[in-house]
Amino acid sequence: MNAAEDRAENIRLLRDSAAAVVAPGDMKRIRVLRFREPGFDRATWQAMCDMGWAGLRVPEAAGGSGLGMQEYCALAEELGAGLVPEPLIPCAMSARLLAGDALAGLLSGERVIIPAWQECANTLDAQGDTTVAGGRASGRKMFVPMAAGADAFLVSGRDGLALVDRAAPGLRLTIERTQDGGNFGTLSLADAHCTPVAGDMAAAIEEAALATAAYLLGVMDRAFAITLDYLRTRQQFGRPIGSFQSLQHRAADLKIQVALTRASVDSAAATLDSAAAPALRQAAVSRAKARAADASMLVTRQAIQLHGGIGYTDEYDVGLFLRKAMVLANLYGSAALHRRRYAAAAPDQDDE
């Protein structure tokens, strides 16, 4: 089996393994968990860790799987299709930076360690004004995803990174609920006890942004599939509404959006796996994230409209996909931010 065949087999196995936690068409588990702390199920998270998902991007020598971004994005897409709330993307980001006992505890599922790197909205800057020197951390971190379920936080600052236990003296955590039923946390750090961690979050943020784009691809693809089923079964004037030409045109436009997003995510994952130059990697990630953010909002909104009145009810599942897109579209950078970064990072086409 050559390298391409081996990668294809890994991707197939990962997609198949996702069936253990993803149940398309059955949102009962998602509905039970939303708007309740911590917003996800620790038993399900443990099962995900047992399958090695948290260490997907961690080298084998450090206890991970050592797989590439193409495998990671394939898994993230499957999780998006099932609206899985467990914090795989944030924890995988932490796993890329931790070592020793901290990494072992995360990979085993014993501890949930969430990165806390943002100090303002819509940024990719992980440094900010927070200080993490001398075994103490001081500053403020915002928009920490699923913080209510965290055992510890990987905090970034202008001096480096530090691991801060949730119960550490000097740390105050405020939780706010999000549209999808999850939560964001705000960390207020006042000389909080911390442990220094070597590393730089920049590359890990790039991977998390692309994985989020892949998750959004799964969200929009599943919302579109639900809508197609509805168009085929809902009857009006004695025939399925999917036979109406105007609705067929709208569905075709949405299918194109899903296909373009898939191509962009796949291309970006291949670029990151090829060890391309930093500017090319940033351009590829920004192109994929900008498209996924915009397309997911368009597809999920149109999905609700194509369902008519029932699509606007909370009891109908298609609305859950719009709620998820609303939360993730701006996480790890909005479409506008990534378009600006793409314009700055992309190679000049006239020079090719």
**Strand-strand pairing, 160-165 and 136-145:** unpaired
Query: What is the model's pLDDT at position 234?
Result: 79
**Strand-strand pairing, 152-157 and 160-165:** antiparallel
Q: Tell me if residue 236 falls in helix, strand or coil.
A: strand
Domain 113-197 part of CATH 2.40.110.10: yes
Query: What is the model's pLDDT at position 102?
Result: 97
Residue 184 main-chain phi, psi, to 5 deg: -115, 150
Q: Tens digits of per-residue pLDDT, 65-117?
A: 999 999 999 999 999 999 999 999 999 999 999 999 999 999 999 999 999 99
Ordered by start, the domain boundaries in the chain are 3-107, 113-197, 202-351
C-alpha of 112 from chain center = 16
Q: Distance between CA 96 and CA 200 in Å, rounded?
A: 10
Q: Tens digits of per-residue pLDDT, 135-146?
A: 999 999 999 999
- Spatial CA neighbour of 87 closest among 204, 183, 175: 183
- Strands (E) across the chain are located at 113-116, 136-145, 152-157, 160-165, 171-177, 183-193, 195-197, 235-236, 239-240
- With 0-12 / 13-18 / 19 or more C-beta atoms within 10 angstroms meaning exposed / middle / buried, residue 143 is buried
Domain 202-351 classification at class level: mainly alpha
Packed helices 202-233 and 318-328: angle between N→C axes, nearest 10 degrees: 160
Read off the tokens for 261: 């997003």
Spell out a b/e string for 52-61, using b for 16 or more CB atoms within 10 Å of the CB, else e.
bbbbbbbeee
The answer to whether residues 144 and 116 touch, using CB atoms and an 8 Å cutoff, is: yes
Q: Tens digits of per-residue pLDDT, 159-208?
A: 999 999 999 999 999 999 999 999 999 999 999 999 999 999 999 999 99
Least reliable range by pLDDT among 172-176, 292-296, 313-317, 338-342: 313-317
Q: Tell me if residue 175 falls in helix, strand or coil.
A: strand
Q: Distance between CA 65 and CA 9 in Å, rounded?
A: 14
- Spatial CA neighbour of 81 closest among 11, 25, 43: 25
Q: Distance between CA 152 and CA 88 in Å, rounded?
A: 15
Domain 3-107 part of CATH 1.10.540.10: yes
Q: Distance between CA 268 and CA 25 in Å, rounded?
A: 29
